[in-house]
Homo-oligomer: A and B are copies of this chain.
Amino acid sequence: MTSIATFTSVIETLGIIAFAMSGVFAALAKKLDMFGVLVIAFVTSVGGGTVRDMLIGATPVAWLKDTHTLSIILITVVITLLLRKRIGNFQRTLMVFDALGLGLFTVIGIQKGIAYGLSPGVCVALGTITGCFGGVVRDILLNHIPALFHVKELYATTCIAGGTVYFLTTGALGPEAAQVIAASV
């Protein structure tokens, strides 16, 4: 159980970083000031988990209870801003992190749903919200129709598929294997 917890926490951190970076780029594209960039990065990173925790009543929500989430986002924003000219080359790496983060945030959402005794369909919905909502709030704040709803990225479909795979594989292989598989879908 320790190895899966460590694995989860490493990938979750990578997910937070990747989402924060995607927030920085989206905010820069709209020419926001430094504070705007910081808020958008923050919201993209923690939005999904925050809505999930408010829906199930797990308050204070996760990022209020530790300090390292806030620090990770701050450091990510500063580094991304400093390196923004070079970072174009990392675009592909970013997409990999983003997909990993999305997959894992979905799985974390599902696990929290299970821990609260919710039914499987509801857990998949909750996982999808955890994975996707940060990006939705980012797009609302930047006055877009959420990319999620019309971009041909199979973004959300991935969440739902991953979540379903998670349920199907957990029974057969145990949670650790399921997590690896689901996150890689």
> Which A residues contact B (CB, under 8 angstroms)?
27, 30-33, 35-36, 39-40, 42, 50, 54-57, 59-61, 63-65, 67, 70-71, 113, 116, 118-119, 121-122, 125-126, 136, 140-146, 148-150, 152, 156-157
Contacting residues, chain B, for A35 (C-beta < 8 A): 148-149, 156-157
Bound Cα distance from A131 to B145, whole angstroms: 24
The answer, among B31, B32, B59, B146, for a CB contact under 8 Å with A57, is: B59
Set of chain B residues within 8 Å of A57, measured between Cβ atoms: 57, 59-60
* Contact A54 B54, beta carbon cutoff 8 Å: yes
A50 with B59: CB separation less than 8 A: no
Cβ A143 vs Cβ B144 within 8 A: yes
Task: Name the B residues within 8 Å of A70 (CB-CB).
Answer: 121-122, 125
**At the interface, is chain A mostly helix, strand, loop or mixed?**
helix
Copy count, this protein chain: 3
Pick from B32, B36, B149: contact of A40, CB under 8 Å:
B149
Contact call A118/B149, Cβ cutoff below 8 A = no
Residue of B nearest to A149 (CB): B36
Assess whether A145 is in contact with B143, with CB atoms less than 8 Å apart: yes
Evaluate contact between A61 and B55: CB separation under 8 angstroms.
yes
CA distance A125 to B43 in the complex (A): 12
Partner of A142, one of B33, B54, B121, B145: B145
Say whether B150 contacts A141, CB under 8 Å.
Answer: no
- Given A56-B59, A141-B140: A122 touches B67 (CB 8 Å cut-off): yes
Given contacts A30-B145, A64-B122, A70-B122, 7 further A-B contacts (CB under 8 A): A32-B149, A35-B157, A56-B59, A56-B64, A60-B118, A65-B118, A143-B143
Instruction: Flag if B150 contacts A146 (CB, 8 Å).
Output: no
B121 touches A71 (CB 8 A): yes
